[in-house]
Structure 1
Amino acid sequence: MNPSQYGGAPGPGVTYTQEFKEVLASTALQAKLPGGVLLKKGTGVLAKGTVLGRITAAGADKDKFIPYNKAATDGSQVAVCILDNDADISQSDIGASAWIAGIFDSTKLTGLDTDAKTVLKLCYFV
């Protein structure tokens, strides 16, 4: 950097960019789960648009949400909703908002399969 380029003042520094990921194909029809969800810690960073399942098995984690997995046996094998924002759940459980209805771009969702599409009856996928 040439110090005289900015009259001796520091330059603009490093430029960072952030990508905005929109998973909704339309904002006309959408609804979020009232009260949101409690995400179970330990999964790391979940991306906006992750399909979530709810743990229904007895224990301390009952009724917490984790990424939908049709091979699971703890209740999370049933898709319930779609995460509204990125969430870092590496260290602790956190609350988050999630959609239960809307028109979604299926190419931008994480964990979506034909079983999840069938269960998420208020969601449309394009």
Structure 2
Amino acid sequence: MSNTYVEPVHAGEFLLSEGAGQISREAIDLAPGEALIAGQVLGLVTASGQFAPYDPKAEDGSQTAKCILFASVASSDVARRGRAVVRLAEVSEALLTGLDLDGEKALASQFIIVR
């Protein structure tokens, strides 16, 4: 019997193209919570100003997709720093986590185009 290893999405692997230099990326504050993998679609929690996984059923601001987590982060009981693609990019739909049609439309308004 052999063990199968499924390799996670690597940092930035979902990017097909981005703006010159690193204009597409920013440092962000992530809400406390579970580990997140690169390619996680994020929304902005209005009250805290921290990003959390996009949740179309939420009512705290995270129901609107705003950006995509660039590199995976570990779970944490406190806010943590991360990097995200926030504008001017083309991304691979197959490598994103948490995306739906409304999220895709919201990302397009940030000039993040899903291919």
Tell me if both proteins adopt one fold, taking TM over 0.5 as the criterion. Answer: yes
Query: Aligned to 1:47, which of 37, 40, 54?
Result: 37
Larger radius of gyration between Structure 1 and Structure 2: 1
Name segments (4+ residues, structure 1) moved above 3 Å: 27-30
| Mapped partners of 2:15, 2:40: distance in 1 | 12
- CA distance 1:49–1:19, shift in 2 (3 Å): closer
Query: Aligned to 1:111, which of 76, 83, 98?
Result: 98
TM-score by length of 2: 0.79
TM-score by length of 1: 0.73
Q: Deviations over 1:57-84 (max 9, x none)?
A: 3xxxx10110000100011101111001
Partner AA of 2:73 in structure 1: A
Identity of aligned residues (%): 32
- Listed as ranges, the gaps of 5+ residues in structure 2 are 1-6
How far off its partner does 1:19 sit? Answer: 5.5
Confirm whether residue 82 of structure 1 aligns to residue 63 of structure 2.
no
Verify the 8 A CA contact 2:43 2:54 in the aligned structure 1: yes
| Mapped partners of 1:26, 1:107: distance in 2 | 15
Aligned residue in 1 for 2:59: 73
Tell me the number of residue pairs that the alignment of Structure 1 and Structure 2 aligns: 104
Aligned residue in 2 for 1:25: 16
- CA distance 1:118–1:20, shift in 2 (3 Å): closer
